[in-house]
Structure 1
Amino acid sequence: MTLPPGNRTGRRRIRWIPLAIVLVVILEIAVFVGVARLIGVLPTVIVVLTLSTLGAFLVRREGRRTWRALEQALRSGKMPNREIADAILVVAGGALLFIPGLVTSVVGLVFALPFTRPVARIGLEVVVARRLLAAGVGGEVRVRRTRPRGEDDVVEGEIIDDDE
């Protein structure tokens, strides 16, 4: 029995997960040792514990705030793209903050902090857009300007699906 191409690609990607976990553990140990050499072992442990505690508090607060924003967007009839992306980032940030380590904690904080989340959201949007384009979703994109250049950064466009 042969598998559809999409399933084989997914299985190939899953094979890399154990290697990625090992690399993250090695990176975390190397960073921990490096920081411990600079400031000492006890201060490094305190930093890791403080980041985890701060992260737990932050994820709880930002999770509530994100949930309220999502509910408000849905009540107003607005498409909650930003709110969904924020919810994904807060959950991912929370997961990373629960993993003991300096690197994962810093990345988790970038995902969870409200003033760094917009940068992480752009990265998430790029990843999702690439996945959609690779999957062939979206068809041709045509963009037309409705205002003269320089007046506003808003660009209206339409997606034309070739399958119809």
Structure 2
Amino acid sequence: MRNWMWAALLIIPGVELFGFIWVSERIGAGSTILMIVLTSLIGIAMMQFEGRKVMQDTQREMKNGQVPGRKMLDGLCVFVGGMLLVIPGFVTDIIGFTLLFPLTRPLYRLFLLKWLEKKLKEGKIRIHRRF
């Protein structure tokens, strides 16, 4: 697991720098910086809006006696998406926006569910109940 984290720490900044240079050559450095600042601000606003919506849906499900499992995964996607939008760069912004939009979020949720299922089967994640 640590190997892919090190690879990501080395590869992602390189890809973002390449994207920054590529976009700067086409629209100019000032416009590129403005775009990055605007996407960060939009990301913060979307994270607050979508986060509030997920929290309300979670509370509603809990009041109805349901387990808000899907909503909790949505909340995780909203949080990660917002963080990716705050990080300067175009690749992280694209991934962040797709995590925040309700129409594309189910793709990530499906991936997370499969990952969680695998970890539960392997015994790497345990669920403890308190009564």
TM-score, length-scaled by structure 1:
0.69
Spell out, residue by residue over 1:66-103, the C-alpha distance to the aligned partner (whole angstroms, 9 max, x if none).
00111111111112121011011011111111111111
Give me the CA root mean square deviation.
2.0
Unaligned 5+ segments in structure 2 are 126-131
Query: What is the alpha-carbon distance in structure 1 between the residues aligned to residue 28 and residue 119 of structure 2?
Result: 43
Quote the offset at 1:126 in angstroms.
2.2
Query: 1:25 is matched by which residue type in structure 2?
Result: P
Q: Distance in 2 between matches of 1:130 and 1:38?
A: 44
Query: Which of 67, 76, 92 in structure 1 is aligned with 2:55?
Result: 67
Larger radius of gyration: 1
Unpaired runs of 5+ in structure 1? 1-12, 138-164
1:87 equivalent in structure 2: 75
Task: Map Cα deviations across residues 16-49 of structure 1 (whole Å, 9 max, x no partner).
Answer: 4233212110111011111112222222112111
**Alpha-carbon distance between aligned partners in 1 of 2:27 and 2:122, rounded to the nearest angstrom:** 46
Superposition map of 1:8-157 within 5 A: 13-135=1-123
C-alpha distance in 2 between matches for 1:36 and 1:48: 11
Larger mean Cα displacement after TM superposition, 32-41 or 66-75: 32-41
- 2:102 counterpart SS class: coil
Distance 2:45 2:108 in 1: 20
Distance 2:123 2:18 in 1: 37
For residue 154 of structure 1, what is the aligned residue in structure 2?
none
Q: Which residue of 2 aligns with 1:7?
A: none
Counterparts of 1:127 and 1:38 in 2: how far apart (Å)?
A: 39
Residue identity in the other structure for 2:48: R
Q: Runs ≥4 in structure 1, deviation > 6 angstroms? A: none
Alignment partners' CA distance in 1, 2:33 and 2:121: 43
Which protein has the bigger helix share?
2
Note the C-alpha offset of 1:64. 0.5
Kindly state the Cα deviation for residue 132 of structure 1 after the two structures are TM-superposed: 2.3
More strand by share: 1
